[in-house]
A and B are shown apart, each in its own frame.
Chain A
């Protein structure tokens, strides 16, 4: 029973090992990956069903009791994010077959891909700070392999920056964990929460919490630590960019959400105020970046940054409405960023260029692609009834409840600019005279429509069926606003 909590990590990991054995036999590897991705998704749905109807699942690895062994905690928030991760994995597995050339597929693409999914799921599920670091490294190592896959000149240049910044932030992570361990004497998150509460979060603990925030802010690309992100996400193959854009920064956001709603919650006038200020600047700087370029992938990559700002803003405001807004926006943003990168990949495949000024009139020959892109655009900008609206609405409502009017104004302004930045892709790329006749096109989007539709269908459902999702989000928010629920699950105190 408790072993269920390991399955979302174990299944992708096993798939990764299996595909490493047969990496030359492409049809076999492709079918293994797709079947196992779908199996993982179904398993996660089954586990989430148990978690939401019954109680969070706690796995004490190796039968060691909670503060002494490593625990995996499958609660509502973790399982929801795991489901979204698995959904994106299914879409990317289908997309990869059309998008990647055979040489790259043969060189362990599916192994790296599945290990990335295993690392992300592990980071969501773990209940131990050092184990979180290990899963960060698992997903980062896999992402190093993916970003360099193919070995073009741009990839080499950008991966060097990417690896350097991540090695540095991982080093800071270990140092911070060491500080925290020397002060509290434990690494289990629930136990940490208890001990920080006992110490009433004295000065040194707040310092450590801000160091930890800097680590996660580097992984999650917040101002002023986002400079590495846009270019390094734009250079690899679109399907790899989609995986990165949808999953990697969100793990950083999730860690901030977990740590600053569970452990460090007693000096909110210092920590959470800081979040609000940084979130505001992050939103505007990200959007300015998105407006500054004509490269399709770079525009989408820059759009990750304001979204991270929105989520951190919700954590900074720190009331029930804003936190449910953050959770809703996190789910929505993972899906829609994945879809946008896949759409940009399809556009690049057709036109053979990433430069908007060289595209035009794609809607004449590719109606379906164009309408899908329009849906993704309005979803991203937060136009009702699509999913971006509900998250932003809750965030802004939460901001008004706490009287943070300036950040709300900045959020609304940046939403407008986000819409402008993506509509520029739509107007320049899809409208106007067709620049390429059907026979001049460099490739077709055949086989790419299915995974994009899969993601966007879920995204639209998330918006239209909000009534159906809200109870789950409220249940998650309840555990976020009351850390004792989490602590009691892990440490089993009555």
Chain B
């Protein structure tokens, strides 16, 4: 008998967006409030896991075209690249800097820091690792 999981699918379509939005918020808030790349990455993976649970591998493979395993080296490259940027300016490795951008429409006066790029590397690596672990175990079973 085919089970009907309409309620699960409908709630997932809505909830997944909320979780993704929350994970982006956590990621961007990291500099001045609790949050950051690690917890942001975990929340994003949580949204993905919910979608995999609801729709199964077949559908998700068509929807998500990212190869999570290559996401790990990509994230590492971003993080190391940010750290190596300091070579160009002749300052010690891992030195970070920030800048205020004035008069951006909607956002006002955001502070842009290179530490954010490093965090982006962490974020991508965490998603890659979490999803690789979960999907490898799931595909084996």
Find out whether the CB atom of A17 lies under 8 angstroms from the CB atom of B73: yes
Provide the residues of chain A in CB contact with B87, threshold 8 Å: 3
A21 touches B80 (CB 8 A): no
In the bound complex, residues from chain B placing their C-beta under 8 Å from that of A61 are 92-94
Say yes or no: is A203 at the interface (Cβ < 8 Å to chain B).
no
- In the complex, B77 has a CB within 8 A of chain A: yes
Q: How far is the CA of A63 from the CA of B95 in the complex (A)?
A: 6
Expressed in whole angstroms, the Cα–Cα distance for A244 and B107 within the complex equals: 53
Is B96 touching A20 in the complex (CB atoms < 8 A)?
A: no
Interface segment, A6-14, A277-285, A296-304, A486-494?
A: A6-14
**Which residues of chain B (69-114) have a CB below 8 Å from chain A?**
70, 72-73, 76-77, 80, 84, 86-87, 91-96
| Chain B: CB-nearest residue to A3 | B93
Q: How far is the CA of A418 from the CA of B81 in the complex (A)?
A: 48
**Distance in angstroms between the alpha carbons of A112 and B95 in the assembled complex:** 27
Q: Which residues of B contact A3 (CB under 8 A)?
A: 86-87, 92-93
Chain B minimum-CB-distance residue to A14: B80
What residues of B have a CB within 8 angstroms of the CB of A20 in the complex?
A: 70, 72-73, 76
Contact between chains at A63 and B92 (CB < 8 Å): yes
Contact: B73 with A21, CB < 8 Å? yes
Of chain B, the residue at the smallest CB distance from A13 is B80
Expressed in whole angstroms, the Cα–Cα distance for A62 and B94 within the complex equals: 4
- The residues in A between 48 and 70 inclusive whose CB is less than 8 angstroms from any CB of B are 59-63
B94 neighbours in A (Cβ, 8 Å) = 61-62
Q: Assuming the A-B contacts A17-B76, A17-B77, A20-B72, are A60 and B92 also in contact, with contact meaning beta carbons closer than 8 angstroms in the complex?
A: yes
B93 touches A21 (CB 8 A): no
**How many of chain A's residues touch chain B, expressed as a range?**
10 to 19
Q: Which of B22-53 contact A (CB under 8 A)?
A: none
Q: Give the chain B neighbours of A60 by CB distance below 8 A.
A: 92
Compute how far the CA of A277 lies from the CA of B128 in the bound complex, rounded to whole angstroms.
48
Q: Are A59 and B93 in contact (CB under 8 A)?
A: yes
Q: Are A2 and B92 in contact (CB under 8 A)?
A: yes
Q: Nearest chain-B residue to A71 (Cβ)?
A: B92
Residues B77 and A6 in contact, CB atoms below 8 Å apart: no
User: Counting chain B CB atoms within 10 Å of each CB, which of A20, A59, A60 scores highest?
Assistant: A20
- Which residue of chain B lies nearest to A72 when distances are taken between CB atoms in the complex? B93
Establish whether residues A62 and B95, one from each chain, have CB atoms under 8 Å apart when the complex forms.
yes
Please, which residue of chain B has its CB at the minimum distance from the CB of A1? B90
Which residues of the partner chain A approach B76 to less than 8 Å between Cβ atoms? Answer: 17, 20
A-B contact pairs, 26 of them (CB 8 A): A2-B92, A3-B86, A3-B87, A3-B92, A3-B93, A6-B93, A10-B80, A10-B84, A10-B93, A14-B80, A17-B73, A17-B76, A17-B80, A18-B73, A20-B72, A20-B73, A21-B70, A21-B73, A59-B92, A59-B93, A61-B93, A61-B94, A62-B93, A62-B95, A62-B96, A63-B92
Residues of chain B having any CB pair with chain A under 8 Å: 70, 72-73, 76-77, 80, 84, 86-87, 91-96
Interface set of A (CB-CB < 8 Å, partner B): 2-3, 6, 10, 13-14, 17-18, 20-21, 59-63
Known: A3-B92, A17-B73, A17-B77. 16 other contacts (CB 8 A): A3-B93, A10-B80, A10-B93, A13-B80, A14-B80, A17-B76, A17-B80, A18-B73, A20-B73, A21-B73, A59-B92, A59-B93, A61-B94, A62-B92, A62-B93, A62-B95
